[in-house]
A and B are shown apart, each in its own frame.
Chain A
Amino acid sequence: MKARLRRLLFLLSVALIAAFSILPFLWFIATSLKTQMEITAIPPTLLPSFSLDFYRSALDDYHLLHYLKNSVIVAGAATAGTIGISLFAGYALARIPLRHKPLIMGSLLLVAMFPQISIAGPVWQILAALGWLNSYQGLILPYITLSLPLGVWIMTGFFRELPQELEDAARVDGCGHLQTLFRIIIPLAAPGVFTAAILVFIYAWNEFFFALLIMTQRPYQTLPVGIALFQGQYTIPWGEIAAASTIATIPLVLLVLLFQRRIVRGLSAGAIKG
């Protein structure tokens, strides 16, 4: 009896959590399927008339796929770069005895503590001097920098949890640090990598301020900037924005679903536990 009650409570909390997360977005999807008149109807209409006008408009007039492509490139490269650098740095901080380790880790955190609006100005000037405004690397490099604290901290914490014996065993076998790193540690780091990768990818995907400042030409603008530009001087095209968000979110959700299974598989195999 008690077990059933607990199960019921559990399912209820699952339902609540799912509802809280999904309901606003479902509303937005419904908005994307309405007509212009229905969107600002008072009181609001719940059931849309399933018109695809806004999708057509978002794709054709508002060049949505183009912004999506740019976001994927920038976020993907930023993620790859951050993960690569964090892996190495995390291993060094977790395993190699170093003096001043708290200082090193703390100084990384400083980066995450400083307001980005102030960092933006000098970064803009550096990029302008290099001629990298309105270029992919102009956005990727700051993104990597700003995600490094999180990435390094996650990887460090993760590596610290790895049992020492595996490396000791490899060491005894004569593997140097580098070999240990590549043949043993990196393969084991998969779960931590996926966690960090998702976090960094979505940070880069969402980031708005730097993208707005650095990418002012349409060929290079990313999705948040693109959608912010949907807004006309006196009109907010709710329908197109809703359609764009739907189109933009679904591939990301699929991506995330894929990664999730990897995390579970990697961890449940027991490489870490016991």
Chain B
Amino acid sequence: MTIPTRSVHCLAPRRRRERLFAAALLFPCFAFVAVFAFYPIIHSLYLSLYRIILGLPGLSQPFVYLENYRQLWGDAVARHALANTFLFVAVSTTCEMLLGLAMALVINRSFRGRGLIRAAVLIPWAIPTVVASQMWRFINNDHYGLLNFLLYGSDLASYQAWLADPTFAMAAVVVADIWKTSAFAALIILAGLQTIPDELYEAARLDGATAWQRFTRITLPLIKPALLIALLFRTMDAFRVFDLVFVMTQGGPADATNVLQFYGYKKMFAEGLLGYGATISVLVFLIILALSLVYVRFLGREIMEERP
């Protein structure tokens, strides 16, 4: 048996070398993140403490401490946007996880034509969001859209104006999002599924476990890390939804699809209220942070921790 060539009192320099090596590996990552992410984030936090109206430079840009936050607290439109965003995130993320799980389970099995089905599943996701949004706007059109035709055929009198109704407009945006990004969850879950060895299923089958038992006792626990990553990233992205709303509804009708990031965009870019727009972004960030902490705490502490 080969004895390790490094003796005990060489552990300290090795540890240091290891840490240096780790630092070198991590450096490019954090260099990018520091310049293009941390600095803008800190800049936004800084901006949120000022009142800035670009259209009126004569008013100067005073430091207003937490005034923007207080204004945001009382802003009814922001409250509505927050509710809309929560609704969007809850419905779309749940559906996407379920649908993604179903898709991953299906394309994990081998059957004839699997490659084509995989391609079919990934197509929605490969289409640029702006194109998909235009497409869904077209499909939802109350006169020459596909949806009405499928539901009501030639009965023109029953055609609904989906995007003109506050409730259905939100539903349309949610459906478009589910259609578009279920593949994302499916891919991540698929990667997780494929690390599960077949032998486990075989052994369970020999032991007499039903399909459902095999699913809940073997599959689910083993793909928990993948599920968590998919859930985490999907939630974060859903909370920051923007492109869909921008193209499909522009926040309407009657602000029914006004989500927080769109509201922030309007404030920052359209109205020139940089400070207030930054405040909204900070709010979105804090909400996402809180949600992520909840996820990690209840669902996957082991992901963040050291391996023993």
**A residues lining the B interface (CB < 8 Å):** 6, 10, 13-14, 17-18, 20-22, 24-25, 27-28, 31, 39-44, 46, 84-86, 88-89, 91-93, 96-98, 101-102, 104-123, 126, 141-142, 144-146, 148, 150, 152-154, 157-158, 160-161, 172, 174, 177-178, 191-192, 195, 198-199, 202, 205-206, 208-209, 223-224, 227-228, 236, 238, 241-242, 244-245, 248-249, 252-253, 256-257, 260-261, 263-264, 267-268, 272-274
Contacts and interface: CB of A to CB of B under 8 A. Distances in A.
A115 B281 contact: yes
Contacts of A106: 304
B123 A22 contact: yes
Interface string B215-254: 0000000000110010011001000101100010000000
Contacts of B18: 96-97, 177
A224 B225 CA distance: 33
Contact of A21 (B120, B128, B197, B304): B120
A93 B304 CA distance: 10
Nearest to B301: A102
A43 B149 contact: yes
B128 A42 contact: no
Contact of B25 (A14, A18, A92, A146): A92
A181 to B, nearest CB: 8
Interface stretch (B29-37, B61-69, B163-171): B29-37
9 smallest beta-carbon distances between A and B, as pairs: A118-B281, A122-B40, A92-B25, A145-B36, A88-B25, A89-B29, A111-B37, A119-B40, A273-B197
Interface of A is mostly: helix
Given A14-B111, A238-B138, A249-B123, 13 more contacts: A13-B102, A24-B136, A31-B138, A109-B232, A111-B38, A112-B236, A113-B289, A113-B292, A114-B37, A157-B225, A191-B194, A248-B131, A257-B115
A123 B40 contact: yes
Given A14-B117, A17-B102, A263-B194, A126 B36 contact: yes
Contacts of B44: 114, 118-119, 121-122
B95 to A, nearest CB: 11
A205 B129 CA distance: 9
Nearest to A230: B134
6 contacts: A21-B179, A25-B123, A110-B289, A114-B40, A118-B278, A242-B135
Nearest to B142: A42
Interface of B: 2, 4-5, 18-19, 21-22, 25-26, 28-29, 32-33, 35-41, 43-44, 99, 102-103, 106, 109, 111, 115, 117-131, 134-136, 138-139, 143-146, 148-149, 153-154, 156, 179, 183-184, 187-188, 191, 194-195, 197, 199, 211, 225-226, 229, 232-233, 236, 240, 242-243, 247, 260-261, 264-265, 268-269, 274, 277-278, 280-281, 284-285, 288-289, 292, 303-307
